[in-house]
Amino acid sequence: MALNSALSSFSFGGTVVAEVGTASIAMDRAPLESTAIGSKTKTFIVGVGGATANLEIFYDQASAAHTTIENNLNTGSAAVACVLTLDTGQTYTGNAFVTSFEVTAQAGNLVRANVGLQFTNAAGTANILTIA
Amino acid sequence: MPSIETCVRAMITAGTSLSTAGIPDARVMHGFRLQDTILPAVTFEVAQDEYMSIGSAPLRMASVELRVIASTTTAALSFESTIRNLIVTGTFDTIVVSAVDFVGRYVEPPVVADGDETEPAQLVCNFTVYYKD
C-alpha cells in the first residue's frame, strides 16, 4: 500500500519540526573488498553501516524546533533522538546531530533551510536505525 | 465554511481601504462580474492550490489572480497601491495566512469598439498566498 507523505512528520529531540517540505533518510553500508591475490573475481564482505538524514524546511526563527536544530550545529551539541514517522505510524528512529544548516532566501520564494543530519549509533547497537 | 476563496475575499475587503478607494465590498466577486454592472470592480480566482509541507497541518500554497476592472487604464492602475497594501499576512475568515508574495502585475488595455465588443481595462495582479487551514 502506498503512503501519503502529507501525513508524515519528523521530530528532533522529541519536538516535531514544523514546516518540513522534504524529509529524507539515507542508509548505506559500503562493502569491504576481500579479494585474494591471484583471484579472478572480486569478493566482498559486509561493510560498516551508517545513515544520514536531510530536511528541507521553510525556515522561521520563531519556530522553536528550527532554532533548536540550528543551535545544535552552532554550539556543537550532542546527538539527539530523531524520528521520521510515516502516515501509518511506521517509524525510522536513531540518534543524530546536525552537520550542515544552509538558509536560502530567494526572490519570489519562501525562506528555506537545508539541514544535514548524521546518525551515530550507541555502542553495541547492531542496527543502523530502529525501523518499526 | 472557510475556504481559500473566502479567505482571499476577506483579505481584499478587510478594513475600508478598497471601498474608500471606490470599490465597495459588493463589487468584489469570485470568478466573474456580470456585464454592464457598475465599474470599477474586482474579480479574483485561485488558480492553483497545493501542499508545501508534510505533517497533519501542512503549509499550503495558493496562486491567486486578481483583476481590477475599470473603464480606463488610468482608473485601473489607480488601485494598484491599494491592492498591494491589502495583500498581507494575518487571519482571514479563520484561515491563517503566514506569508504572501506579490508576484507581479500587467495591464490589459480597454478595447474600444461598437456595442458589446467594448471591453474595460483590467489591472491583473498575481500573488501567492501561503496558509494553513
Q: What is the pLDDT of residues B107-117, one digit of tens each?
A: 999 888 777 77
Q: Note whether residue A36 is domain-resident.
A: no
Q: Note whether residue A58 is domain-resident.
A: yes
Strands A49-58 and A112-119: antiparallel
Set of cell numbers at residue A42: 572480486
CA distance A47 to chain B (A): 33
Q: Which domain holds residue B58?
A: 4-132
Q: Which domain holds residue A93?
A: 5-28+48-131
Looking at beta carbons, which residues of chain A come within 8 Å of B55? 6-9, 16, 18, 20
Contact B53 A19 (CB under 8 A): yes
Interface contact A124, partner B, CB < 8 A: no
For residue range B24-63, what is the model confidence (pLDDT) as tens digits?
Answer: 999 999 998 877 789 999 999 998 888 899 988 899 999 9
> What is the amino acid identity at position B77?
L
Contact B99 A109 (CB under 8 A): no
Looking at beta carbons, which residues of chain B come within 8 Å of A23? 54
CATH number assigned to the domain comprising residue B79: 3.30.2000.30
For residue range B70-100, what is the model confidence (pLDDT) as tens digits?
Answer: 999 999 999 999 999 999 999 999 999 999 9
| The model's pTM | 0.85
Complex prediction ipTM: 0.78
CATH number assigned to the domain comprising residue A65: 2.40.30
Q: Give the pLDDT confidence score for residue A124 in this predicted structure.
A: 66
Considering its fold, how many domains does chain B have in total?
1
Q: List Cα–Cα distances, A45 to A37, A87, B72, in angstroms.
A: 16, 35, 78
Considering its fold, how many domains does chain A have in total?
1
